[in-house]
Structure 1
Amino acid sequence: MLNLDFNWEKLEGFLPVWEELSVDAREAFLMLVETQPCSLTGLGVFRQELKNAGLIYEMTDGLRYRLPEELRGLKRAFKAMFYTEVFSSSDSLYAGDMVDYLDDHFTSGELSRLGAGYYDRIGIVAQRAESVSWIEKFLSSEDELDWEGKINNQRYGTEIVWEDGSFDKTAEVVAQMYDLPIPLLVSAALSASELPASCFLKALHLGCRELLLFVDLCPVTHDFRVGLWPTIAAKLNAPEPEMPKSISATFSFTSPVLINDLYSLMSLCSAEPQRLRVNDGTLFAKSEKILFETMAEGPWWIPFEYELHQETRLRKAMAYALESDFLIGPTSRQRKNKPELKISSKGRQWTGLSEVDRLFSLWASLDLVEKRKTGGYVAGKFDLANFERCFPFDWSALESIGSPEWDIINNVFNEIIQELATATEDGFVDIKGFIQYVGRFHNPFNGVGGDELWDFFFGTSWWGWRSEEDMLQTWLAGVLSFLIRWGEPLGLIAIGTADPDIENLPDGYVAVGGSFGGSFDAGFEASGQKFFLCMKVTNWGRFILGLEKELEIRPKSKTDIIIQPNFEVVFLGASSEAEIRLTPIAERLGRGTGTLFRLTKASVQKAASTGMDDDAVLSILTEIASKPVPKNVSQQVCHWVRQAVLLQWRPAMVVTCPDHECALQVIGVVGKNAQLLSETTVEIRGGKPTATVVKKLQKVGIFLRAE
Structure 2
Amino acid sequence: MKYFPTDWSEALDQLPRYLALSPGARRVVLAMRPSQGAGPTALGPFRDELLESGFVVPKGSGATVIPADAVRVVHTVLRAADRRRLWDDPTPGALMGYVEEHFTTEEMHATSGLRGWNFAADRADLTHMVTSVEWVESFLLADTRKAARAWESAHAAGSERRRFDDQHSWVATRRVVESLLAAPAPVPLASLAGHVPDVQTRDVATGLEAALRYLLVFLSLRGPECEPVVWVWPQVRARLGAPPPERPEAVEPAESFEAAWLMEDMTAVLAQAAGEPIRLRGSDQAIFAAARKAIEERMITVPDWTEIDGLEAEKRVEHAADVLRLAGYARRSGRSGQDLSLEPTKAGMEWLAASTRDRLAALVDLIRTSKARRPGTWYEEEGFEFFPVRLSADLPKTMDLRKWLTESFLGLPGEPVRVLDFLAYASERENPFLEALRDGTPLRIPWHGRRPTRHDWERLWGQILLQFLNDRLAPLGGARMGRTADGWLTFVLTDAGRYLLGAAKTFAYGTDAQAEVIVQPNFDVVFLAADPRLEAQFARLAQRVGTGPGVMFRLTRASVLAAAESGISAAQLLDTLRAASSRALPANVERQVSDWLGAVRRVQLRPTLLLECPDPETAARAMSAAGKQVRAITETVLELPGATTKDRNALVKKLRAQGVFVS
Q: Which amino acid aligns with 1:312?
A: K
How many Å apart are 1:274 and its aligned residue? 1.5
Question: What pairs up with 1:298-697 in 2 under 5 angstroms?
Answer: 298-299=302-303, 301-303=305-307, 305-330=308-333, 334-367=335-368, 368-370=370-372, 379-381=383-385, 385=388, 389=389, 392=391, 395-396=393-394, 398-399=395-396, 403=398, 405=399, 408-420=400-412, 422=413, 425-426=414-415, 428-449=416-437, 456-457=445-446, 464-500=450-486, 531-538=487-494, 540-541=496-497, 546=503, 551=508, 553-555=511-513, 560=518, 570-572=523-525, 578=538, 580-581=540-541, 593=554, 595-597=556-558, 618-624=571-577, 626=581
Aligned to 1:128: 129
- Is residue 266–residue 343 contact of structure 1 (8 Å, CA) maintained in 2? yes
Whether the 8 Å CA contact 2:496–2:507 is kept in 1: the answer is no
Contact map agreement 1:294 1:577 (CA 8 A) in 2: no
Flag the structure with higher helix content. Answer: 2
The answer for the alignment partner of 2:80 in structure 1 is: 80
Structure 1 residues 174 and 295, CA gap change in structure 2 (3 angstroms): farther
Deviation, 1:328, is: 0.9
- Distance of 2:65 and 2:378 partners within structure 1: 75
Structure 1 residues 292 and 149, CA gap change in structure 2 (3 angstroms): farther
Which segment drifts farther, 99-108 or 372-381? 372-381
Structure-2 separation of matches of 1:548 and 1:629: 38
Partner residue of 2:280 out of 255, 276, 280: 276
Following superposition, the deviation at residue 215 of structure 1 comes to 2.5
Q: Deviations over 1:24-72 (max 9, x none)?
A: 3798467423224567963434644x43xxx555667598754244743
Deviation at residue 108 of structure 1 after TM alignment: 5.7
Does 539-548 or 312-321 show the bigger shift?
539-548
Gaps of 5+ in 2: 528-534, 544-551, 612-618, 630-639
Residue of structure 1 equivalent to 2:178: 179
> 1 CA distance for matches of 2:154 and 2:193?
32
Cα distance change, pair 190–547 in 1 and its aligned pair in 2 (3 A)? same
Moved more, 368-377 or 66-75: 368-377
* Residue among 235, 242, 258 paired with 1:231: 235
* Contact kept? 1:213, 1:228, Cα under 8 Å: yes
Q: Does 2:161 correspond to 1:163?
A: yes
Match runs of 1:144-155 below 5 Å: none
Task: Give the alignment partner of residue 12 of structure 1, picking from 9, 21, 24.
Answer: 9
TM-score (norm 2): 0.71
Cα gap change, 1:357 to 1:441, in 2 (>3 Å): farther
The answer to whether the 8 A contact 1:84-1:101 is kept is yes
Partner of 1:520: none
Q: CA deviation at 1:293?
A: 0.9
Counterpart CA distance in 1 for 2:524 and 2:176 is 74
SS of residue paired to 1:240: coil
Deviation at 1:318, TM superposition (A): 0.8
Structure 1 SS opposite 2:435: coil
Is 1:87–1:230's contact at 8 Å kept on the other side of the alignment? no
Residues 109-128 of structure 1 mapped to structure 2, 5 A cutoff: 111=108, 114=112, 116-118=116-118, 119-128=120-129
Amino acid at match of 2:3: N
Counterparts of 1:286 and 1:638, CA distance in 2: 27
Unmatched runs of 5 consecutive residues or more in structure 1: 153-158, 501-530, 584-590, 667-673, 675-682
Relative to 1, partners in 2 of residues 1:172 and 1:481: Cα closer, same or farther, differing over 3 Å? farther
User: Does the aligned pair in 1 maintain the 2:366–2:384 contact within 8 Å?
Assistant: yes
Identity %: 17
Considering only aligned residues, what root-mean-square deviation do their CA atoms show, in Å?
A: 5.3
From the superposition, tell whether residues 226 and 279 of structure 1 become closer, same or farther in structure 2 (CA, over 3 Å): closer
Count of matched residue pairs: 596
Where does residue 24 of structure 1 map in the other structure?
21
Q: 1:150 to 1:559 in 2, by over 3 A?
A: farther
Q: Is the 8 A contact 2:279 2:340 kept in 1?
A: yes
| Cα deviation, residue 686, structure 1 | 10
Pick one of 91, 102, 106 that aligns with 1:105.
102
- Note if contact 1:454-1:467 (Cα within 8 Å) is conserved in structure 2: no
Match of 1:522 in 2: none
Distance, in Å, in 2 between the alignment partners of 1:374 and 1:706 is 52
Instruction: Tell me how far apart the structure 2 counterparts of residues 36 and 2 of structure 1 sit (CA, whole Å).
Output: 20
SS, match of residue 246 in structure 1: coil
Amino acid of the structure 2 residue aligned with 1:430: R
Structure 2 distance, partners of 1:435, 1:448, is 19
Q: TM-score, normalised by structure 1?
A: 0.68
